[in-house]
Amino acid sequence: MSSKEKKSVTILTESQLSSRAFKDEAYEFYKELRKSQPLYPLSLGALGKGWLISRYDDAIHLLKNEKLKKNYENVFTAKEKRPALLKNEESLTKHMLNSDPPDHNRLRTLVQKAFTHRVILQLEDKIQHIADSLLDKVQPNKFMNLVDVYAFPLPIIVISEMLGIPLEDRQKFRVWSQAIIDFSDAPERLQENDHLLGEFVEYLESLVRKKRREPAGDLISALIQAESEGTQLSTEELYSMIMLLIVAGHETTVNLITNMTYALMCHGDQFEKLRQQPDLMNSAIEEALRFHSPVELTTIRWTAEPFILHGQEIKRKDVIIISLASANRDEKIFPNADIFDIERKNNRHIAFGHGNHFCLGAQLARLEAKIAISTLLRRCPNIQLKGEKEQMKWKGNFLMRALEELPLSF
């Protein structure tokens, strides 16, 4: 989207927000929005009218605003209920990310004990072993596409083992995940995504049948036990929660590892500083989360009660979408916001969200990134981009800021 096009646009569509062209110039566009149109109109097809939020303070306020709901059933009457866009939608949407209190609290409680500080720390040796094993396979080649051979396999192996699902199925998860996070309402994409989600539902049904016969000490077995007790988890919630844990358990971390590596490759001084001072790793991870936020846009929130923001009435049933990427580049909060600084102080980014829906797996993602990047820099100290940074392409994707690939030589 060129500067001329930006000035002429009055309403952004879902397809524009999802385009690669938008991703390439999003930061400049967000900067203009923060200055002059912090509440920007959206046209979201079957979802209706929406608003894009770009400022940090607005994001913090709205992420905690009880007038906004994640479950549209808490906003729409039975007569107003929108038709499902996908046949398999109901089987995969009854998870905590799409719920409000008290349902959200009930669902989160069922899984949060698997993500406690103590449990996550116990995974450290396992994650280190996975990182080393992955690099063992590619190091002799002196080349790799980081996404395919390192950033994707590491978190998917970790979450697969936590959930108790076969590692040989992990490539299927990659395809299914893309279908789930693809917000396109183009008819051909909807048909393809519905087919893929149907495959995912069939897979989950088969997996759950097997776990019922042979329960183990994994997270899926624990969720099945909760479902069998009746009042804690319905069958739809069971499938939806497993889906959410698979997708959210790896998708954000893939982008964190990839985007952080890319930022370091593009900022040689920061890369060298981190190599010389590895104790800056935690700070560097927080800056990577801020600078190239893995989740660019939040999932949708529905307006349950009208309210006024920046002189504009937000009406009941309007959709609110918050740009975490823009909020994390807000000049009023982050001095020199467009500078990648691994020693940044008071880094109050909201890459993992804020409020009730703060990412449950944030600590796990941070640990995976710390081990992945530390191991990469230690074992491949001369690593560099293979090709020019201008050649790197962001995926056309509504929710995520994700590179298609990251070729590296070492």
Quote the pLDDT of residue 236: 87
pLDDT tens column, 99-119: 999 999 999 998 988 899 999
pLDDT at 190 over 90: no
pLDDT at 196 over 50: yes
Query: What SS3 class is residue 53?
Result: strand
The Cα 232–Cα 217 span in angstroms is 19
Quote the pLDDT of residue 4: 39
**Contact indicator for 326, 66 with CB cutoff of 8 Å:** no
Quote the pLDDT of residue 386: 94
Quote the pLDDT of residue 2: 42
The Cα 152–Cα 146 span in angstroms is 8
Quote the pLDDT of residue 225: 85
For residues 178 and 259, the model is more confident at 259
pLDDT at 46 over 90: no
Query: What SS3 class is residue 353?
Result: coil
- Which of the 8 DSSP states describes residue 314? E
**CATH classification at residue 288:** 1.10.630.10
Whether the pTM exceeds 0.75: the reply is: yes
Q: How many domains does the chain have?
A: 1
- 172-186, 207-221, 362-376: range with lowest mean pLDDT: 172-186
CA dihedral 283, 285, 290, 296 (to 10 degrees): -170
DSSP-based helix, strand, coil % in the chain, nearest 5: 55, 10, 35
> Which amino acid is residue 126, in one-letter code?
K
Task: Please report, in angstroms and rounded to a whole number, the separation of the first and last CA atoms in the chain.
Answer: 35
The Cα 96–Cα 352 span in angstroms is 15
Quote the pLDDT of residue 184: 64
pLDDT at 230 over 70: no
Residue 369: count other Cβ atoms within 10 Å of its Cβ: 27
pLDDT at 173 over 90: no
Residue 314 Cα distances to 161, 219, 222, 299, 391, angstroms: 44, 40, 41, 18, 40
What does DSSP say about strands 49-53 and 39-43: parallel, antiparallel, or unpaired? antiparallel
Residue 161: count other Cβ atoms within 10 Å of its Cβ: 15
Quote the pLDDT of residue 27: 97
Query: For 327-335, what is the mean pLDDT?
Result: 98
Quote the pLDDT of residue 393: 95
Mean pLDDT of all residues in the chain? 91
pLDDT at 167 over 90: no
Which range marks the domain in which residue 270 is found?
A: 3-409
Residue 332: count other Cβ atoms within 10 Å of its Cβ: 10
The Cα 153–Cα 279 span in angstroms is 26
Residue 326 Cα distances to 99, 127, 335, 354, 361, angstroms: 25, 31, 14, 15, 22
Residue 85 Cα distances to 23, 46, 121, 190, 194, angstroms: 25, 8, 40, 8, 9
Query: For 80-97, what is the mean pLDDT?
Result: 73
